[in-house]
Amino acid sequence: MPKRFLMLSILFVTAIAAVATAYYTYRPNAARIDKFYQWRRNPDAHQDWKLVAGTRCGSAPFLFPTDGFAGFLWGDSFGLRHTHQGIDVFAGTEVGITRVIAAYPGYLTRSHDWKSAVIVRVPNDPLQSGRQIWLYYTHMADQSGNSFISSEFPAGTFEKFIEAGTFLGYQGNYSGDLNNPVGVHLHFSIVEDDGTGQFKNELDIQNTLDPSPYLGLPLNGYENRDNVPLCQSVDG
């Protein structure tokens, strides 16, 4: 083998190793995200990674709100300027097929301009008595904004009481921007109250709570770097 070719080969392998090291250093959740992409390519081959709507993990207070793979977790990094403030659950189906249900009882509101989202006020946080929290569900519309939210909750619905397990709608892929398509999924987050009876800005992770203890699953991206979020003792 010519010496120059050997040196180029060594440099190439070294460069590949450096890129891989950098990827896993700056994307510490890379191992888990790789599994997510495997799910996206072929969900039927990985049904053991699927979470099921309506199941409860151990003594956790919330029901799981939809079927699918919890692909992005609370605290996952989407770049230098954005840290994910909830969980994204991808069904592996087309839009308008996979049901979304209420994780916990509360009072549902759907603003007049919300095509894909509802928010549920929980007056008494089951993990911190006396604190009010809000449960936000979104992406329940197709890419053009055609809503998949249940007809029981038309735009303008305000403070309608619902039980845990109530059908809310179907997973969709609405992002509000036709040039920025997203995969079919549900985004679910737990939002803090602002102290005046209103919810804080859900887009800021500082205004949201780690959903892990509420669902009994490892849904904190800061702590769960590698593992597919699954319940070790799911009670149907």
Q: Is 189 inside a domain boundary?
A: yes
Q: Is 99 inside a domain boundary?
A: yes
Q: What is the pLDDT of residue 127?
A: 98
Tell me the pLDDT of the chain (236 aa) as tens digits.
Answer: 555 544 544 444 444 443 333 333 345 688 998 999 999 999 999 999 999 999 999 999 999 999 999 999 999 987 666 799 999 999 999 999 999 999 999 999 999 999 999 999 999 999 999 999 999 999 999 999 999 999 999 999 999 999 999 999 999 999 988 888 789 999 999 999 999 999 999 999 999 999 999 999 999 999 998 999 999 754 44
Q: Is 13 inside a domain boundary?
A: no
Tokens matching residue 119: 């928010």
Q: Is 21 inside a domain boundary?
A: no
CATH number reported for the structural domain that contains residue 33 in this entry: 2.70.70.10
Q: Is 150 inside a domain boundary?
A: yes
Whole-angstrom Cα distance, residue 132 to residue 158? 17
Enumerate residues 6+ apart whose C-beta is below 8 A from 190.
Answer: 86, 133, 134, 135, 136, 208, 209, 210, 211, 214
Tokens matching residue 24: 């896993």
Whole-angstrom Cα distance, residue 202 to residue 56? 25
Domain that residue 194 falls in = 28-235
Q: What is the pLDDT of residue 79?
A: 64
Q: Is 101 inside a domain boundary?
A: yes
Q: What is the pLDDT of residue 4?
A: 55
Q: Is 18 inside a domain boundary?
A: no
pTM assigned to the model = 0.86
Q: Is 160 inside a domain boundary?
A: yes
The number of folded domains in the chain is 1
- Specify the 3-state DSSP secondary structure of 52: coil
Q: What is the pLDDT of residue 123?
A: 98
Q: What is the pLDDT of residue 14?
A: 44
Q: What is the 3-state secondary structure (H, E, C) of 15-33?
A: HHHHHHHHHHHHCCCHHHH
